[in-house]
Chains A and B, each alone.
With several copies, the nearest count.
Chain A
Amino acid sequence: MNLQEYRRRARAWLEANAQDTEAEGTPDAGGVAAAKAFMARMYDAGYSGISWPGEWGGQGLTQAEERAFAEEAAGFTLPTYVFSIGLGMCGPTLVDLGTPEQKARHLRPLLRGEEIWCQLFSEPGAGSDVAALQTRATPTEDGWTVTGQKVWTSVAQHASYGLLLTRTDVDAPKHKGLSMFIVDMRAPGVTVRPLRDMTGRAHFNEIFFDDVHIPAENLVGQVNDGWSCAVTTLLHERLSISSGVGMGGRRDNPVAFEALRHTADTADPVVADQLVELHIRSRALALFNERLSQETKAGVFPGARGSAAKLLLAELTMFQADLATSLAGPEAVAYEEGGGRLAEAVSLAPAMALGGGTNEIMRNIIGDRVLNLPPEPRVDKNVPFKDLKVNG
Chain B
Amino acid sequence: MKLVLTEEQRELRGAVRAFLASASPLPEVRRAAESETGHDPEVYRRLNGELGLAGLVVGEEHGGAGAGYAELALVLEETGAALLPGPFLATTLATILLTEVGDKELLPGIAAGTTLATVALDGGRALNGAEADVVLAIEGPRVLAVRGGDRTPLTTLDITRRQAKVDLGAGEEIASSTEGVARARDLFAVAVAAEQLGVLRASLDAIVGYAKLRVTFGRLIGSYQGVKHRLADMHCKLEQAESIVRYAAWAADEAPDELSSAAALAQAYAGRACFEVARDNLLLHGGIGFTWEHDAHLYYKRAKADEVLLGPPRAHRTRLAELLEL
Contact = CB atoms under 8 A, between A and B. Distances in A.
B232 A127 contact: no
B326 to A, nearest CB: 4
Contacts of B292: 196-198, 200
Contact of A373 (B3, B152, B223, B315): B223
A358 B312 contact: no
Interface in A375-392: 375-380, 383, 388-391
A69 B289 CA distance: 38
B219 A371 contact: no
Given A198-B292, A378-B217, A291 B283 contact: no
A310 to B, nearest CB: 10
A279 interface: yes
A273 B229 contact: no
A390 to B, nearest CB: 6
B236 A312 contact: yes
A389 to B, nearest CB: 5
Contact of B287 (A152, A291, A343, A374): A152
Contacts of A343: 155, 157
B291 A198 contact: yes
A290 B1 contact: yes
Given A198-B290, A325-B304, A273 B236 contact: no
A290 B326 contact: no
Nearest to B220: A374
A294 B246 CA distance: 12
Contacts of B246: 287, 291
Given A197-B290, A330-B311, A373-B231, A336 B157 contact: no
B154 interface: yes
Per DSSP, are chain B's interface residues mostly helix, strand or loop, or mixed? helix
A325 B307 CA distance: 10
A39 to B, nearest CB: 29
Interface in A343-373: 343, 346-347, 350-351, 353-355, 358-360, 362-364, 366-368, 370-373
Interface in A108-154: 122, 124, 127-129, 132, 151-152
Contacts of A334: 125, 154-157, 163, 305
Interface size class for chain B?
35 or more
A44 interface: no
A335 interface: yes
A351 B290 contact: yes
B243 interface: yes
Interface string A328-340: 1111111111011
Interface residues of A, number: 92
B243 to A, nearest CB: 4
Interface stretch (B82-90, B178-186, B206-214): B206-214
Nearest to A124: B288
A229 to B, nearest CB: 20
A326 B265 CA distance: 17
B30 to A, nearest CB: 12
The winner among A271, A276, A300, A339 for most chain B CB atoms within 10 A is A276
Contacts of B13: none
Contacts of A280: 265, 268-269, 320
A329 B158 contact: no
B304 A333 contact: yes
B38 interface: no
B291 A366 contact: no
Contacts of A374: 211-212, 219-220, 222-223
B291 A364 contact: no
A378 B217 CA distance: 8
A326 B308 contact: yes
A122 B282 CA distance: 19
Interface in B99-129: 121-123, 125
A346 B287 contact: no
A359 B239 CA distance: 17
B321 A273 contact: yes
B219 A377 contact: yes
Interface of B: 1-4, 121-123, 125, 152, 154-158, 163, 165, 208, 211-212, 214-220, 222-229, 231-233, 235-236, 239-244, 246-247, 265, 268-269, 275, 279, 282-283, 286-294, 296-297, 300-301, 304-305, 307-309, 311-315, 317-318, 320-321, 324, 326
26 contacts: A122-B287, A128-B217, A195-B291, A198-B292, A198-B300, A200-B292, A287-B243, A300-B4, A322-B275, A325-B304, A326-B314, A329-B315, A330-B311, A334-B305, A340-B157, A347-B157, A364-B226, A367-B228, A367-B232, A371-B208, A371-B232, A373-B211, A373-B228, A375-B223, A376-B225, A377-B219
- Top 8 nearest A-B pairs (CB, nearest first) are A380-B218, A198-B297, A367-B228, A329-B312, A366-B232, A373-B222, A363-B232, A284-B240
Given A322-B275, A363-B233, A376-B223, 5 more contacts: A277-B317, A295-B4, A355-B287, A363-B225, A390-B218
